Structure 1
Amino acid sequence: MGEAIEMFKASKEREDYVRVLDFLPYGRIDDDRPAYQKKPLIQAIGEKSFVLMELTPKKGKEAVMHQRLYIGKGERDIVDHVNCRIRYDELTHAAKAELKHVLAEIVKENEERFLDVYNKSYPITTRLHILDLFPGIGRKFVNMILQERKKGEFTSFEDLSRRVKGLYHPEKIIANRIEEELSEKNVKYRLFTTTV
């Protein structure tokens, strides 16, 4: 199992909000039951700990991709109940295709939380820095980020892109790392997710 990096480790709190990855009005395709026994399903991802899950909507309710749904305690508009956590390989093709876009939206909307990745990351070993774990960030960018960081913390993703020439869409870099942690079983260091 992978080692969790304490600084960015997934929250142990229950998810209150999820984002829709796919809506299956007739349930799972691999469900062998007769059509009248199948119930609609929503595949979604939690905003705090990036937990993948399947939900059952209330009767007559539908969900659209990227929609933000409340699943916390109390009255819910669309979701009747949370069925279970699921693994990446249980996602539909459509859900997998939307995942990177939904993750980028979550990261961008929670910029302050995720900016810490660039402002407060640290070396894991003498040869490996947390920033080395991110797809799309090579040693050159790691060094540039660390040099710029000495001049003062980054105030936004836009500030980061402006100060580190050639580093575009820092939110997508983080989203790609989260997707990698969700899709790969043998990730050595987990920054944002936990195992199912």
Structure 2
Amino acid sequence: MRKREDYGYVLDIIPPELAAYKLPARIRREFPRDSTYAHVLGEDRFTLLEVTLKPGVKVEVGERVYIGVGQRDKVDKIVRRIKFEDLQPPAREALAQLVRQIVQSQEQKYVDWFNKAGPLTLKMHSLELLQGIGKKKVQEILAERRKKPFESYEDIRKRVGVDPVELLVGRIMAEIQGKDPYYIFVAPPPSEAT
């Protein structure tokens, strides 16, 4: 499993004049006063990050930016990992839409998860982490995928009567918000508050 994100989506832009109010003093001291900050959602593991933008660069909420190792065109530095609670209300609103966009754009990755998901414990299957999926529905999903692996979201809908995109978005949002001790799709939040 990869630890670093290569791409992310801009959730919020914090101009220099607002950084003094929205960011912890420790962070403000480490970066130039004229830095523009952004909160970004990682594309692969839904990592929440705070970054600084390169001087003079403009980005928009929802824009996909390179945040990986090496030369970046818009992001200057990754400042820190953040938690859901660190996001401002507009960023929280954009979050669900961007999670849905990522899940829809990476259909094969998540269909493969439905085909390969296994038990978490002797008594609990990872499919049960999806809201509304109980033991009976898990058995139905497992029986269907034994007959033939799922090929698409539509295939899952037709064969087991669930909306996989809704289930996945709900689960990913719960993990981002730290509502459950299990992390299947999301990088666990940083252990200490920053």
| Structure 2 length-normalised TM | 0.82
CA contact 2:10–2:41 (8 Å) conserved in 1? yes
Q: Deviations over 1:90-114 (max 9, x none)?
A: 1111111111211121122222222
More helix by share: 2
Q: Which of these residues, 172, 177, 188, is aligned with residue 171 of structure 2?
A: 177
The answer for the alignment partner of 2:53 in structure 1 is 57
CA contact 2:54–2:74 (8 Å) conserved in 1? yes
1:161 and 1:147 mapped to 2: Cα distance?
15
- RMSD over aligned CA atoms reads 2.3
Are 2:85 and 1:89 equivalent residues in the alignment? yes
Q: Deviations over 1:107-143 (max 9, x none)?
A: 2222222212211112223432111111233344323
Give SS of 2:22's match: coil
Q: Which of these residues, 75, 79, 91, is aligned with residue 75 of structure 2?
A: 79
CA contact 1:27–1:41 (8 Å) conserved in 2? no
Deviation at 1:154, TM superposition (A): 0.4
Q: Which runs of 5 or more residues in structure 2 are unaligned?
A: none
1:127 and 1:94 mapped to 2: Cα distance?
39
Are 2:190 and 1:190 equivalent residues in the alignment? no
The answer for the alignment partner of 2:2 in structure 1 is 11
Q: Deviations over 1:138-194 (max 9, x none)?
A: 3443233222212111011121112222x12x1232122122112126x33221222
2:67 and 2:8 mapped to 1: Cα distance?
7
Aligned letter for 1:98?
Answer: A
Aligned letter for 1:89?
Answer: E
Aligned letter for 1:147?
Answer: A
1:101 and 1:67 mapped to 2: Cα distance?
12
Aligned letter for 1:11?
Answer: R
1:91 and 1:132 mapped to 2: Cα distance?
28
Q: Which runs of 5 or more residues in structure 1 are unaligned?
A: 1-9
Summarize the alignment of residues 65-144 of structure 1 with structure 2, pairs less than 5 Å apart: 65-144=61-140
Deviation at 1:22, TM superposition (A): 1.3
| Relative contact order higher in (CA < 8 Å, ≥ 6 apart) | 1
The answer for the alignment partner of 1:7 in structure 2 is none
1:70 and 1:131 mapped to 2: Cα distance?
32
